[in-house]
Amino acid sequence: MFDLSDWESYCFLIIIVQLWFFMACLLPSHSHALRGNNRLWIKEQLSLDPEEIIIDNPFFQRKTKRYKGCQIDYMIQTKYNTLYVCEIKFSRHPVGTKVIQEVKEKILRLSLPRGVSCRSVLIHVNGITEDLQDKDYFSDIIDFSELLAH
């Protein structure tokens, strides 16, 4: 266990528990009401009209002879041939630029039909570095702690 007087460790544990709860709500085997609320909030942050969305789920592409394996934390497909590839990161420290290469690799591994565009989205809990912000790679950066604060 940890020393409860260590405020930083305690806060980090609370964030981890809350994020675990959020991730559990995204998975198909859990409560639809909770899952829907978190997904709805994310879609609102992305200014997506529910009428535009074809499907939104975590995504897993199995490795085959033709394609590399790939796991996307949360992906939204719209009727306008746009995929929102959402990377969810939680860390004790702000998320750095390393995440850009991770997301680029995931997008390269995806087997995409012609005419489909990808928008990368970062969902984080404990902030991002200034370097990451300056790179301007992600179309949207969502601070999940804003939802937890409500």
Has residue 12 got a pLDDT over 80? no
CATH 1.20.1630 fits 7-149, yes or no: no
Is the Cβ–Cβ distance between 128 and 111 less than 8 Å? no
Instruction: Give residue 29's pLDDT.
Output: 36
Average of pLDDT values for 27-44? 61
How many residues in the chain? 150
Distance CA 19, CA 8 (A): 16
Q: Residue 45's pLDDT is what? A: 95
Which pLDDT does position 18 carry in this prediction? 53
In DSSP terms, which residues pair with 118 in a beta bridge? Answer: 83
